[in-house]
Amino acid sequence: MTSDASRDPRRAGLSRRRFFGLAGAGTAGVLAAGAAGGVIGHATAADPTAAGTAAATDAVPFTGDHQAGIVTPAQDRLHFVAFDVITDSRDDLVEMLQAWTAAARRMTAGQDAGPVGAVDGGQYAPPDDTGEAIGLPASGLTLTIGFGPTLFTAADGTDRFGIAGRRPEPLAELPSFPGDALDPARSGGDLCVQACANDPQVAVHAVRNLSRLGAGVVSVRWSQLGFGRTSSTSSAQATPRNLFGFKDGTDNLKSENGSAVERFVWVADGDPGADWLAGGSYVVTRRIRMRIEPWDTSTLAEQEQTIGRTKGAGAPLGQQAEFDPVDFTVRAGTGPAIPENSHVFLAHPTNSGTAILRRGYSFVDGSDGLGRLDAGLFFIAYERNPETGFVQVQKNLRMDAMNEYIQHTSSAVFACPPGISGPDDWWGRALFS
Protein backbone atom coordinates (compact mmCIF):
# COMPACT_ATOMS: atom_id res chain seq x y z
CA MET A 1 0.00 0.00 0.00
CA THR A 2 1.40 3.38 -1.01
CA SER A 3 0.62 6.32 1.30
CA ASP A 4 0.57 10.03 0.47
CA ALA A 5 3.58 10.47 2.74
CA SER A 6 5.65 8.04 0.68
CA ARG A 7 4.96 10.06 -2.46
CA ASP A 8 5.75 13.42 -0.80
CA PRO A 9 9.20 13.55 0.84
CA ARG A 10 8.22 16.58 2.94
CA ARG A 11 5.18 14.79 4.38
CA ALA A 12 7.31 11.70 4.96
CA GLY A 13 9.77 13.82 6.92
CA LEU A 14 6.94 15.20 9.03
CA SER A 15 5.67 11.70 9.74
CA ARG A 16 9.12 10.59 10.88
CA ARG A 17 9.40 13.67 13.08
CA ARG A 18 6.02 13.01 14.66
CA PHE A 19 6.96 9.37 15.33
CA PHE A 20 10.36 10.10 16.84
CA GLY A 21 9.41 13.36 18.55
CA LEU A 22 6.20 12.22 20.20
CA ALA A 23 7.57 8.79 21.03
CA GLY A 24 10.32 10.48 23.01
CA ALA A 25 8.11 13.05 24.73
CA GLY A 26 6.79 10.83 27.50
CA THR A 27 10.19 9.36 28.29
CA ALA A 28 11.85 12.75 28.38
CA GLY A 29 9.16 14.06 30.71
CA VAL A 30 9.76 11.24 33.16
CA LEU A 31 13.52 11.78 33.04
CA ALA A 32 13.13 15.52 33.60
CA ALA A 33 10.88 14.89 36.58
CA GLY A 34 13.38 12.47 38.05
CA ALA A 35 16.27 14.87 37.59
CA ALA A 36 14.33 17.63 39.31
CA GLY A 37 13.47 15.43 42.26
CA GLY A 38 9.78 15.61 41.40
CA VAL A 39 9.61 19.43 41.69
CA ILE A 40 9.68 20.59 38.09
CA GLY A 41 10.46 24.12 36.96
CA HIS A 42 10.87 25.75 40.36
CA ALA A 43 14.61 26.22 40.02
CA THR A 44 13.88 28.91 37.44
CA ALA A 45 10.72 30.33 38.95
CA ALA A 46 10.11 29.87 42.65
CA ASP A 47 13.69 29.15 43.73
CA PRO A 48 16.00 31.28 41.55
CA THR A 49 18.75 31.35 44.15
CA ALA A 50 19.14 27.60 43.91
CA ALA A 51 19.43 27.90 40.13
CA GLY A 52 21.95 30.69 40.47
CA THR A 53 24.28 28.48 42.47
CA ALA A 54 23.95 25.45 40.19
CA ALA A 55 27.02 24.16 38.37
CA ALA A 56 27.55 25.50 34.87
CA THR A 57 27.17 21.98 33.47
CA ASP A 58 23.84 21.21 35.18
CA ALA A 59 20.49 20.78 33.45
CA VAL A 60 17.82 23.45 33.87
CA PRO A 61 14.32 21.98 34.31
CA PHE A 62 12.29 22.31 31.13
CA THR A 63 8.81 22.41 32.66
CA GLY A 64 7.30 25.00 34.98
CA ASP A 65 4.87 27.88 35.20
CA HIS A 66 7.11 30.02 32.98
CA GLN A 67 9.47 29.14 30.16
CA ALA A 68 13.08 28.67 31.19
CA GLY A 69 15.51 31.18 29.71
CA ILE A 70 13.71 34.29 30.95
CA VAL A 71 14.41 34.68 34.67
CA THR A 72 16.87 31.76 34.55
CA PRO A 73 20.31 33.02 35.62
CA ALA A 74 21.80 34.23 32.33
CA GLN A 75 24.23 31.76 30.80
CA ASP A 76 27.47 32.64 29.03
CA ARG A 77 26.49 31.94 25.41
CA LEU A 78 23.59 32.62 23.07
CA HIS A 79 22.28 31.42 19.74
CA PHE A 80 19.12 33.34 18.83
CA VAL A 81 17.27 32.46 15.64
CA ALA A 82 14.16 33.80 13.93
CA PHE A 83 12.23 31.59 11.52
CA ASP A 84 9.78 32.19 8.69
CA VAL A 85 6.97 29.64 8.42
CA ILE A 86 6.99 28.45 4.80
CA THR A 87 3.97 26.13 4.89
CA ASP A 88 0.29 26.99 4.67
CA SER A 89 -0.68 23.88 6.64
CA ARG A 90 -1.76 24.45 10.23
CA ASP A 91 -1.44 20.71 10.88
CA ASP A 92 2.16 20.68 9.73
CA LEU A 93 2.99 23.67 11.92
CA VAL A 94 1.37 22.08 14.99
CA GLU A 95 3.14 18.80 14.29
CA MET A 96 6.48 20.59 14.11
CA LEU A 97 5.84 22.45 17.39
CA GLN A 98 5.10 19.12 19.06
CA ALA A 99 8.30 17.61 17.67
CA TRP A 100 10.28 20.69 18.73
CA THR A 101 8.95 20.42 22.26
CA ALA A 102 9.92 16.76 22.51
CA ALA A 103 13.42 17.50 21.21
CA ALA A 104 13.79 20.48 23.55
CA ARG A 105 12.88 18.31 26.54
CA ARG A 106 15.63 15.91 25.65
CA MET A 107 18.34 18.41 24.73
CA THR A 108 17.85 20.58 27.83
CA ALA A 109 18.29 17.37 29.87
CA GLY A 110 21.63 16.72 28.15
CA GLN A 111 20.28 14.02 25.83
CA ASP A 112 20.26 13.63 22.06
CA ALA A 113 17.54 15.47 20.16
CA GLY A 114 15.80 12.19 19.29
CA PRO A 115 15.30 8.92 21.15
CA VAL A 116 17.58 6.96 18.81
CA GLY A 117 20.46 9.43 18.87
CA ALA A 118 23.35 10.35 16.64
CA VAL A 119 25.03 6.95 16.27
CA ASP A 120 22.71 4.17 17.48
CA GLY A 121 20.35 4.03 14.52
CA GLY A 122 20.56 2.04 11.30
CA GLN A 123 23.38 2.72 8.89
CA TYR A 124 20.97 3.59 6.09
CA ALA A 125 18.76 6.07 7.92
CA PRO A 126 19.55 9.70 8.83
CA PRO A 127 20.42 10.00 12.54
CA ASP A 128 17.84 11.83 14.66
CA ASP A 129 20.60 13.91 16.26
CA THR A 130 23.41 15.72 14.47
CA GLY A 131 26.08 14.54 16.92
CA GLU A 132 28.22 17.57 17.65
CA ALA A 133 27.16 17.57 21.32
CA ILE A 134 28.07 13.91 21.95
CA GLY A 135 29.81 13.70 25.33
CA LEU A 136 28.89 17.23 26.37
CA PRO A 137 26.78 17.90 29.47
CA ALA A 138 23.53 19.87 29.45
CA SER A 139 25.58 23.03 30.17
CA GLY A 140 22.57 24.90 31.53
CA LEU A 141 20.84 24.86 28.14
CA THR A 142 17.51 26.65 27.98
CA LEU A 143 15.28 26.91 24.92
CA THR A 144 12.67 29.67 24.82
CA ILE A 145 10.13 30.06 22.01
CA GLY A 146 8.19 33.09 20.85
CA PHE A 147 5.54 33.88 18.21
CA GLY A 148 5.83 36.97 16.02
CA PRO A 149 3.01 39.24 14.77
CA THR A 150 3.28 37.85 11.22
CA LEU A 151 2.44 34.34 12.42
CA PHE A 152 -1.05 35.60 13.18
CA THR A 153 -1.61 37.90 10.22
CA ALA A 154 0.54 38.12 7.08
CA ALA A 155 1.61 41.46 5.62
CA ASP A 156 -1.28 41.25 3.14
CA GLY A 157 -3.79 40.71 5.96
CA THR A 158 -4.17 36.95 5.47
CA ASP A 159 -5.18 34.92 8.51
CA ARG A 160 -2.56 32.29 7.85
CA PHE A 161 -3.44 29.63 10.43
CA GLY A 162 -6.82 30.64 11.80
CA ILE A 163 -5.32 32.45 14.80
CA ALA A 164 -5.54 36.10 13.71
CA GLY A 165 -8.26 36.71 16.27
CA ARG A 166 -5.98 35.47 19.03
CA ARG A 167 -3.16 37.93 18.43
CA PRO A 168 -2.69 39.92 21.64
CA GLU A 169 -3.00 43.66 21.12
CA PRO A 170 0.50 44.38 22.53
CA LEU A 171 2.05 42.03 19.93
CA ALA A 172 2.63 44.63 17.22
CA GLU A 173 5.59 45.72 15.16
CA LEU A 174 7.70 48.24 17.04
CA PRO A 175 7.57 51.88 15.95
CA SER A 176 10.55 53.47 14.27
CA PHE A 177 12.95 55.43 16.44
CA PRO A 178 15.37 58.24 15.52
CA GLY A 179 18.71 56.88 14.36
CA ASP A 180 17.41 53.42 13.43
CA ALA A 181 19.17 51.77 10.48
CA LEU A 182 17.21 48.54 10.47
CA ASP A 183 17.94 45.76 7.98
CA PRO A 184 14.61 44.09 7.11
CA ALA A 185 16.40 40.82 6.33
CA ARG A 186 17.68 40.73 9.92
CA SER A 187 14.44 41.83 11.55
CA GLY A 188 11.08 40.30 12.37
CA GLY A 189 10.12 36.67 12.00
CA ASP A 190 7.16 34.34 12.52
CA LEU A 191 8.84 32.31 15.27
CA CYS A 192 11.92 32.70 17.42
CA VAL A 193 14.00 30.34 19.51
CA GLN A 194 16.45 31.61 22.09
CA ALA A 195 19.08 29.03 23.00
CA CYS A 196 21.24 29.96 25.99
CA ALA A 197 23.95 27.70 27.43
CA ASN A 198 27.34 27.80 29.11
CA ASP A 199 28.89 26.01 26.11
CA PRO A 200 28.49 27.56 22.64
CA GLN A 201 28.48 24.14 20.97
CA VAL A 202 25.51 23.05 23.08
CA ALA A 203 23.52 26.16 22.11
CA VAL A 204 24.32 25.84 18.41
CA HIS A 205 23.57 22.11 18.48
CA ALA A 206 20.11 22.81 19.88
CA VAL A 207 19.23 25.37 17.23
CA ARG A 208 20.63 23.18 14.45
CA ASN A 209 18.46 20.23 15.48
CA LEU A 210 15.29 22.30 15.78
CA SER A 211 16.00 23.72 12.32
CA ARG A 212 16.51 20.17 11.02
CA LEU A 213 13.21 19.04 12.52
CA GLY A 214 11.49 22.02 10.93
CA ALA A 215 12.60 21.28 7.36
CA GLY A 216 9.75 22.02 4.96
CA VAL A 217 7.80 23.93 7.62
CA VAL A 218 10.16 26.74 8.62
CA SER A 219 13.30 28.33 7.26
CA VAL A 220 15.86 30.45 9.10
CA ARG A 221 15.22 34.15 8.54
CA TRP A 222 18.17 35.42 10.59
CA SER A 223 20.23 34.37 13.57
CA GLN A 224 22.67 35.87 16.03
CA LEU A 225 25.46 34.33 18.09
CA GLY A 226 26.34 36.01 21.36
CA PHE A 227 29.00 35.71 24.02
CA GLY A 228 29.67 37.41 27.33
CA ARG A 229 26.25 38.10 28.82
CA THR A 230 25.68 41.83 29.30
CA SER A 231 23.34 41.64 32.26
CA SER A 232 22.57 39.53 35.31
CA THR A 233 19.16 38.02 35.93
CA SER A 234 20.01 36.74 39.42
CA SER A 235 21.56 38.49 42.40
CA ALA A 236 23.84 35.45 42.72
CA GLN A 237 25.65 36.55 39.55
CA ALA A 238 28.45 39.10 39.29
CA THR A 239 27.74 42.07 37.05
CA PRO A 240 29.37 41.57 33.62
CA ARG A 241 30.96 44.17 31.35
CA ASN A 242 29.90 45.10 27.84
CA LEU A 243 32.16 45.95 24.91
CA PHE A 244 32.41 49.56 26.07
CA GLY A 245 34.19 48.19 29.13
CA PHE A 246 31.46 49.21 31.60
CA LYS A 247 29.56 47.02 34.03
CA ASP A 248 26.15 46.43 32.50
CA GLY A 249 22.84 45.58 34.12
CA THR A 250 23.60 46.60 37.72
CA ASP A 251 20.01 47.73 38.24
CA ASN A 252 18.46 45.11 35.97
CA LEU A 253 15.43 43.27 37.31
CA LYS A 254 16.52 40.11 39.11
CA SER A 255 14.61 36.86 39.47
CA GLU A 256 14.63 37.36 43.24
CA ASN A 257 12.62 40.60 42.85
CA GLY A 258 9.38 38.62 42.87
CA SER A 259 6.86 41.46 43.01
CA ALA A 260 8.70 43.53 40.39
CA VAL A 261 9.01 40.55 38.06
CA GLU A 262 5.29 39.86 38.42
CA ARG A 263 4.54 43.51 37.70
CA PHE A 264 6.87 44.10 34.76
CA VAL A 265 7.66 40.72 33.14
CA TRP A 266 4.80 38.21 33.28
CA VAL A 267 1.57 38.61 31.36
CA ALA A 268 -1.34 38.29 33.81
CA ASP A 269 -4.94 37.17 33.54
CA GLY A 270 -6.93 40.15 32.38
CA ASP A 271 -4.14 41.57 30.21
CA PRO A 272 -5.04 42.07 26.51
CA GLY A 273 -5.02 38.71 24.73
CA ALA A 274 -4.02 36.85 27.88
CA ASP A 275 -6.38 33.90 27.39
CA TRP A 276 -3.46 31.81 26.10
CA LEU A 277 -0.51 34.03 27.09
CA ALA A 278 -0.99 34.42 30.85
CA GLY A 279 2.24 33.37 32.54
CA GLY A 280 4.19 34.21 29.42
CA SER A 281 6.00 37.37 28.38
CA TYR A 282 6.95 39.51 25.40
CA VAL A 283 10.51 39.66 24.16
CA VAL A 284 12.04 42.54 22.22
CA THR A 285 15.35 42.01 20.43
CA ARG A 286 17.56 44.72 18.96
CA ARG A 287 20.94 44.25 17.31
CA ILE A 288 22.86 47.33 18.43
CA ARG A 289 26.06 48.14 16.56
CA MET A 290 28.61 49.77 18.85
CA ARG A 291 30.93 52.28 17.22
CA ILE A 292 33.96 50.84 18.93
CA GLU A 293 36.63 52.95 17.24
CA PRO A 294 35.35 56.45 18.15
CA TRP A 295 34.47 55.22 21.65
CA ASP A 296 38.04 54.03 22.13
CA THR A 297 39.37 57.52 21.32
CA SER A 298 37.12 59.32 23.82
CA THR A 299 38.49 60.27 27.23
CA LEU A 300 37.69 58.33 30.37
CA ALA A 301 35.82 61.34 31.74
CA GLU A 302 33.67 61.56 28.59
CA GLN A 303 32.93 57.83 28.72
CA GLU A 304 31.85 58.02 32.35
CA GLN A 305 29.70 61.10 31.73
CA THR A 306 28.07 59.32 28.78
CA ILE A 307 27.16 56.26 30.83
CA GLY A 308 26.59 57.91 34.21
CA ARG A 309 28.77 55.43 36.14
CA THR A 310 32.45 55.01 36.92
CA LYS A 311 34.23 52.62 34.59
CA GLY A 312 36.19 50.84 37.29
CA ALA A 313 33.81 50.17 40.16
CA GLY A 314 30.61 50.72 38.21
CA ALA A 315 29.35 53.14 40.86
CA PRO A 316 26.76 55.78 39.95
CA LEU A 317 28.60 59.09 39.52
CA GLY A 318 28.77 60.80 42.90
CA GLN A 319 28.86 57.45 44.73
CA GLN A 320 31.61 54.97 45.67
CA ALA A 321 30.40 51.42 45.01
CA GLU A 322 28.47 49.67 42.26
CA PHE A 323 25.32 49.02 44.25
CA ASP A 324 25.18 52.39 45.97
CA PRO A 325 21.79 53.94 45.22
CA VAL A 326 21.47 56.07 42.12
CA ASP A 327 20.90 59.56 43.49
CA PHE A 328 20.05 62.21 40.90
CA THR A 329 20.16 64.98 43.51
CA VAL A 330 23.92 64.64 44.12
CA ARG A 331 25.81 67.64 42.76
CA ALA A 332 29.29 67.83 41.28
CA GLY A 333 30.52 71.40 40.94
CA THR A 334 27.78 73.50 39.38
CA GLY A 335 25.76 70.63 37.94
CA PRO A 336 24.35 67.22 38.75
CA ALA A 337 26.89 64.42 39.26
CA ILE A 338 24.90 62.23 36.85
CA PRO A 339 24.36 64.26 33.65
CA GLU A 340 20.76 64.55 32.54
CA ASN A 341 21.66 63.25 29.07
CA SER A 342 23.55 60.22 30.41
CA HIS A 343 22.31 56.71 29.77
CA VAL A 344 21.76 55.99 33.46
CA PHE A 345 19.71 59.15 33.99
CA LEU A 346 17.40 58.48 31.04
CA ALA A 347 17.05 54.70 31.33
CA HIS A 348 16.83 54.27 35.09
CA PRO A 349 13.39 53.06 36.27
CA THR A 350 13.12 56.13 38.52
CA ASN A 351 12.96 58.38 35.47
CA SER A 352 11.65 56.02 32.79
CA GLY A 353 8.66 55.00 34.90
CA THR A 354 8.94 51.34 33.95
CA ALA A 355 11.28 48.36 34.07
CA ILE A 356 12.32 45.55 31.74
CA LEU A 357 14.28 42.37 32.31
CA ARG A 358 17.35 42.43 30.08
CA ARG A 359 19.45 39.38 29.17
CA GLY A 360 21.51 40.57 26.21
CA TYR A 361 24.87 39.41 24.87
CA SER A 362 27.91 40.90 23.18
CA PHE A 363 28.71 39.99 19.58
CA VAL A 364 31.59 40.43 17.15
CA ASP A 365 30.60 39.56 13.58
CA GLY A 366 33.89 40.21 11.80
CA SER A 367 34.43 43.60 10.16
CA ASP A 368 32.26 45.96 8.17
CA GLY A 369 34.57 46.00 5.15
CA LEU A 370 35.89 49.44 6.08
CA GLY A 371 38.45 48.31 8.63
CA ARG A 372 36.08 48.58 11.60
CA LEU A 373 34.77 45.87 13.88
CA ASP A 374 31.16 44.87 13.34
CA ALA A 375 30.56 44.49 17.05
CA GLY A 376 28.06 45.44 19.67
CA LEU A 377 25.21 44.32 21.86
CA PHE A 378 22.44 41.92 20.97
CA PHE A 379 19.80 43.41 23.23
CA ILE A 380 17.12 41.08 24.61
CA ALA A 381 14.42 42.36 26.96
CA TYR A 382 11.44 40.53 28.46
CA GLU A 383 8.44 42.55 29.53
CA ARG A 384 4.74 42.40 30.27
CA ASN A 385 3.86 44.85 27.51
CA PRO A 386 6.31 46.21 24.90
CA GLU A 387 4.44 49.53 24.62
CA THR A 388 4.79 50.32 28.31
CA GLY A 389 8.17 48.59 28.56
CA PHE A 390 10.81 48.83 25.83
CA VAL A 391 9.01 51.43 23.71
CA GLN A 392 8.61 53.77 26.67
CA VAL A 393 12.26 53.39 27.67
CA GLN A 394 13.45 53.89 24.10
CA LYS A 395 11.43 57.09 23.75
CA ASN A 396 13.13 58.38 26.88
CA LEU A 397 16.52 57.74 25.26
CA ARG A 398 16.05 60.21 22.40
CA MET A 399 18.62 62.57 23.94
CA ASP A 400 20.90 59.83 25.28
CA ALA A 401 24.56 60.84 24.94
CA MET A 402 25.33 57.22 24.10
CA ASN A 403 23.44 57.54 20.81
CA GLU A 404 26.62 59.04 19.35
CA TYR A 405 28.28 55.65 19.73
CA ILE A 406 25.53 53.14 18.83
CA GLN A 407 23.12 52.31 16.03
CA HIS A 408 20.22 49.85 16.02
CA THR A 409 20.45 47.58 12.96
CA SER A 410 17.74 44.95 13.58
CA SER A 411 14.50 44.72 15.51
CA ALA A 412 11.91 42.10 16.42
CA VAL A 413 9.15 41.39 18.93
CA PHE A 414 7.62 38.05 19.91
CA ALA A 415 5.02 36.74 22.36
CA CYS A 416 6.49 33.96 24.50
CA PRO A 417 3.85 31.55 25.83
CA PRO A 418 3.83 30.28 29.42
CA GLY A 419 5.84 27.27 30.51
CA ILE A 420 5.26 23.64 29.66
CA SER A 421 3.00 22.03 32.25
CA GLY A 422 3.85 18.36 31.82
CA PRO A 423 4.82 15.53 29.47
CA ASP A 424 1.73 15.93 27.26
CA ASP A 425 2.04 19.70 26.85
CA TRP A 426 3.79 21.33 23.90
CA TRP A 427 4.89 24.78 22.76
CA GLY A 428 1.84 26.71 21.54
CA ARG A 429 -0.80 24.19 22.64
CA ALA A 430 -3.00 26.83 24.30
CA LEU A 431 -2.75 29.05 21.21
CA PHE A 432 -3.61 26.39 18.64
CA SER A 433 -6.13 24.38 20.66
pLDDT tens digits, one per residue of 187-224:
999 999 999 999 999 999 999 999 999 999 999 999 99
User: What pLDDT was estimated at residue 353?
Assistant: 80
User: What pLDDT was estimated at residue 11?
Assistant: 40
Greater pLDDT, 364 or 27: 364
Quote the percentage of the chain above a pLDDT of 70: 88
User: What pLDDT was estimated at residue 349?
Assistant: 83
Q: At what angle do helices 90-108 and 9-35 cross, to 10 degrees?
A: 40
pLDDT tens digits, one per residue of 41-70:
333 333 333 344 468 899 999 999 999 999
Average pLDDT over residues 135-146: 98
Mean pLDDT for all residues in the chain: 89
Q: Which parts of 177-280 are beta strand (E)? A: 191-197, 218-229
Cα distance between residue 115 and residue 106, in whole Å: 8
pLDDT tens digits, one per residue of 372-408:
999 999 999 999 999 999 999 999 999 999 999 999 9
End-to-end Cα spacing for the chain: 33
pLDDT tens digits, one per residue of 335-365:
999 999 999 999 988 777 889 999 999 999 9
Average pLDDT over residues 26-33: 32
SS3 for 93?
Answer: helix
Distances, alpha carbon 252 to alpha carbons 231, 260, 273, 281, in Å = 7, 11, 27, 17
Does residue 1 have a pLDDT over 80?
Answer: no
User: What pLDDT was estimated at residue 12?
Assistant: 38
Does residue 177 have a pLDDT over 50?
Answer: yes
Does residue 126 have a pLDDT over 80?
Answer: yes
Average pLDDT over residues 224-251: 96
Does residue 171 have a pLDDT over 50?
Answer: yes
Average pLDDT over residues 142-167: 96
User: What pLDDT was estimated at residue 351?
Assistant: 74
Most confident segment among 9-18, 92-101, 327-336 = 92-101
Overall pTM surpassing 0.85 (yes/no): yes
| CA-atom Rg of the chain in angstroms | 22
